[in-house]
Amino acid sequence: MAHRHALAALAAFATAGLVLTAVPASADGGRRPAKTLGELAAAKDRYFGAATDVVGLADAEYARQLAHEFNSTTAGNELKWYATEPQQGVFDFTLGDQVVHFARKNNMVFRGHTLMWHNQLPDWLTNGAWTADQLRAILKNHITQEVRHYRGKAYSWDVVNEPFNEDGTYRDTIFYRILGPGYIADAFRWAHEADPHAKLYLNDYNVEYIGPKSDAYHALVKSLKAEGVPIHGMGFQGHLALQYGYPTTLQENLQRFADLGVDVAITELDIRMLLPATDDKLATQAKWYADVTKACLAVRRCVGITLWGHTDKYSWIPAFFPGEGAALPYDENLNPKPAYYAIRDALSQ
């Protein structure tokens, strides 16, 4: 079946270049080989990745760590519409190319994020008074140009990001308002035409557990599959917060999407907490990271996990949630936290 081939190709891609490296002594006194998260995930036919922004890549120690420890990455902002088509019909892939180049140079699986989102749109698009025909043509051109530019270089694309409200109704975006719900199927078809090998995903937050929002995605994926729309995956962002509790239905939820015949992936994992971080909170966070990892490993079609950045040094959290942070497995000094070791243990089982 197609997805088996995809996983095999993914594994080959992910492990290429990871052989013949000396295995350093581990931090726990050498009782087990200190394999990287990427190596451990690859041994299970999966990727373990972390998003990056292009500015971070100028930080040599950060970039070295990202390349060494992870076998996948994605661009945190550089492939969004405002960055890639800043003026109508004028495309700029300069920054995105830098992240893709970094990924290729380091044999990392590259996820494309994102072709359509209601945030970070260019002003020319949001300020225009478009007819449906005009907006459809703009959308088709945007998707075609971007996916074609990265054809063969992007393993997957988040084609449509966050199209639903919390209650599972369609979000009132410029696309939905002018084009109606059919814009989603159109976007997947255009992306597929531009790169028939890329895995095409829906992607959202607060869908890790079974509830109205994930139910709506489940129904949508089912109907898109029934219509023959080329959709291949469901992305669960995984922006979790200790104060809201662990999504205990995660594994069951991943499985019910896999049962529809699509891949699933954790696409933007971070686990924030109210500051200050204490040993207790960091221990709970470590358990959650391990539990998410185990949930993915337990579902055959869960192809991988992407952290939304790997270090607290560059996390988006403090700017968006004042008083919260410490969300990633490496601290602000790039040192591994308990979460790092917990993920490593989970991947080793």
Active site residues per annotation: 162, 268
Contacts to ligand G3I from residues 241-270, by CB under 6 A: 268
Our CB check for ligand G3I shows the closer of 13 and 288 to be 288
d(CA 218, CA 237): 15
Our CB check for ligand G3I shows the closer of 263 and 270 to be 270
Contacts to ligand G3I from residues 181-210, by CB under 6 A: 205
Contacts to ligand G3I from residues 273-292, by CB under 6 A: none
- In SS3 terms, 148-205 reads as HHCCCCCCEEEEEECCECCCCCECCCHHHHHHCCCHHHHHHHHHHHHCCCCEEEEEEC
Contacts to ligand G3I from residues 132-161, by CB under 6 A: 161
Rule CB under 6 A: say whether 165 interacts with ligand G3I: no
How near is the Cβ of 198 to ligand G3I at its closest, in Å? 18
Applying CB under 6 A, which of residues 72, 77, 84, 156 lies at the interface with ligand G3I? 77
Our CB check for ligand G3I shows the closer of 285 and 306 to be 306
How near is the Cβ of 217 to ligand G3I at its closest, in Å? 15
How near is the Cβ of 161 to ligand G3I at its closest, in Å? 6
Contacts to ligand G3I from residues 293-322, by CB under 6 A: 316
Residue 106's nearest CA partner among 163, 22, 159, 39 is 39
How near is the Cβ of 83 to ligand G3I at its closest, in Å? 9
How near is the Cβ of 143 to ligand G3I at its closest, in Å? 17
Check the CA dihedral 185-189-194-197 and report its sign.
positive
d(CA 218, CA 209): 12
Our CB check for ligand G3I shows the closer of 76 and 163 to be 76
d(CA 35, CA 196): 34
Which residue has the closest beta carbon to ligand G3I? Answer: 316
How near is the Cβ of 113 to ligand G3I at its closest, in Å? 6
Q: Are strands 263-274 and 324-325 parallel, antiparallel or unpaired?
A: antiparallel
Our CB check for ligand G3I shows the closer of 14 and 160 to be 160
Our CB check for ligand G3I shows the closer of 72 and 161 to be 161
Residue 113 bridge partners (DSSP): 158
β strands within the chain, DSSP E: 47-52, 72-75, 109-116, 156-161, 199-204, 233-236, 239-241, 263-274, 302-307, 324-325
* Phi and psi angles of residue 280, each rounded to the nearest 5 degrees, phi first: -65, -45
d(CA 54, CA 329): 20
Rule CB under 6 A: say whether 76 interacts with ligand G3I: yes
How near is the Cβ of 308 to ligand G3I at its closest, in Å? 6
Residue listed under structure tokens 């990455």: 73
Applying CB under 6 A, which of residues 74, 237, 285, 306 lies at the interface with ligand G3I? 237
Rule CB under 6 A: say whether 120 interacts with ligand G3I: yes
307: CB partners within 8 A, 6+ apart: 49, 50, 51, 70, 268, 269, 270, 328, 329
Give the total of residues touching ligand G3I (CB under 6 A): 9
Output the six-digit token pair for 265: 């992936």
Our CB check for ligand G3I shows the closer of 49 and 338 to be 49
- What residue ranges bind ligand G3I (CB under 6 A)? 76-77, 119-120, 161, 205, 237, 268, 316
